[in-house]
Amino acid sequence: MKVLILGADGYLGWATCMHFSSKGHEVTAVDNYFRRKASERLGCPPLILTPELPRRAKTWKDMGGKAIRVLPGDITDYDFLLSVFSKCRPDVVVHYAEQPSAVYSMMGRDTAAFTLMNNLVGTLNLAYAVRETGAACHIVKLGTMGEYGTPDIDIEEGWIEIAHKGRKDKFLFPRQAGSIYHTSKIQDTDLLWFFARTWGLSITDLMQGPVYGISTEEDGMYPALMPNFNYDEVFGTVLNRFIVQAVAGHPLTVYGKGGQVRGYINIKDTLQCVYLSSMRPPGPGELRVFNQVTETFTVKELAAMVKKAGEKLGYEVRIENMENPRVEQEEHYYNPKYTGLMELGLKPHYLTDDVLEGMFHMVAGYRTTINREAIFRGIKWR
């Protein structure tokens, strides 16, 4: 199968390229290096400095992997995206090519406008490219559980039947998000649903929770192949940040009381979910939505788990409840459904003590490169 991966240099991107490649698919990797450059510019590079895509592809091939084609460029440039389609003629496009940080989107007017522009024009261009090239191509789009916010009713997988005044109809599940970034993902979903029903495109939208993990099966722990693992406030996800904080002797930064519940997923399971979805496309005109998480925790539970695992390994771990820079509920109902991907065959890697210890050991190997300044700066939502 010909697989086009947009956003191939992100936390999930390169790992996804290798995962498809290892299973014999023909992979094309596209990225404009936005996140790499932005995290450098903001003084918060990833824990492990990885090379750019051509060098990663060469390393992968040198180690016996199948060739991965790299096409650097920006998908908000429509002519560039059309040139990618004409070279690659994909059967499936995995679309990660978005500004992925809620914090970045809330830094100011310019980063907010960039987030809207980048994410919506990129998604629009992708739909147009699929239609204009006549590709019989399935789009697998990364969404976020953050689209739903924290409603007082159970969260279904994308769709809900609403009964109202004696009549009923089926709708996208109501969504209201906590940042401009998360709002841009709601807007993406609305765009994709429009193109599914207007042009008959075939789309999977994966509502993913915060991902954690530093290594996947395919990287063999070679730095040149490992994920771009950020541990800072802007681009790092919460569990990854906590582990680095614990190793660096920085207090774990719990916002408010830490009662916020979210659904989490191991990066290895992200790869499974994207792969399983790609192998089983929905029909034309269908927007299929899965909630891509494997278990839920409160932030204070996560912090306690990290503290316990760290202390077992001899780290002194302190939890700090700080003023919440975000605008979010700290106590709320949260009951998302997430069975669809299991039904497709997902075998979850749960967050066990072993997994946490493994992450501690990996991070410890890079402890001298941790930049404490980058860990927390308190960028406010208000």
Binding residues (CB under 8 A) for a copy of itself: these are 78, 109-110, 112-113, 116-117, 120-121, 124-125, 128, 132, 151-154, 160, 162-165, 167-169, 171-172, 174-178, 180, 183, 186-187, 190-191, 193-194, 197-199, 327, 333, 381-382
- Per the annotation, the verdict on 144 as an active-site residue is yes
Q: Which is nearer to a copy of itself, 106 or 276 (CB)?
A: 106
Neighbours of 350 (CB within 10 A): 12
The active-site residue out of 11, 104, 148, 181 is 181
Tokens (6 digits) for 355: 């997994």
Q: Which is nearer to a copy of itself, 180 or 246 (CB)?
A: 180
Tokens (6 digits) for 210: 């915060």
Least CB distance to a copy of itself at residue 177 (A)? 7
Query: Are the C-beta atoms of 346 and 200 separated by less than 8 Å?
Result: no
Query: Are the C-beta atoms of 132 and 149 separated by less than 8 Å?
Result: no
Residue whose structure tokens are 């979805």? 277
Chain centroid offset of residue 356 CA? 20
Q: Which is nearer to a copy of itself, 186 or 267 (CB)?
A: 186
Strands 138-144 and 26-31: what pairing?
unpaired
Q: Which is nearer to a copy of itself, 118 or 270 (CB)?
A: 118
Least CB distance to a copy of itself at residue 221 (A)? 41
Least CB distance to a copy of itself at residue 244 (A)? 28
**Phi, psi angles (nearest 5°) of residue 297:** -140, 155
- Per the annotation, the verdict on 33 as an active-site residue is no
Q: Which is nearer to a copy of itself, 180 or 273 (CB)?
A: 180
Gap between the Cα atoms of 358 and 243, Å rounded: 11
The active-site residue out of 144, 150, 237, 270 is 144
The active-site residue out of 141, 185, 268, 300 is 185
Least CB distance to a copy of itself at residue 125 (A)? 7
Amino acid at 114: F
**Phi, psi angles (nearest 5°) of residue 24:** 95, 5
Burial 111-129 (b: 16+ CB within 10 A, else e): bbebbbebbbebbbbbbeb
Least CB distance to a copy of itself at residue 321 (A)? 22
Query: Are the C-beta atoms of 115 and 180 separated by less than 8 Å?
Result: yes
Nearby residues of 147 by Cβ (< 8 Å), 6 or more positions away: 175, 177, 182, 185, 186, 189, 207
Least CB distance to a copy of itself at residue 191 (A)? 6
Closest CA to 32 of 94, 86, 96: 96
Q: Which is nearer to a copy of itself, 285 or 358 (CB)?
A: 285
Q: Which is nearer to a copy of itself, 82 or 344 (CB)?
A: 82
CA 326 to each of CA 37, 38, 104, 179: distance values in angstroms, whole numbers, following the listed order = 25, 21, 12, 9
3-state secondary structure of 222: coil
Least CB distance to a copy of itself at residue 2 (A)? 23
- Per the annotation, the verdict on 104 as an active-site residue is no
Greatest Cα pair distance in the chain: 65
**Sign of CA pseudo-dihedral 136, 142, 147, 153:** positive
Active site residues: 144, 181, 185
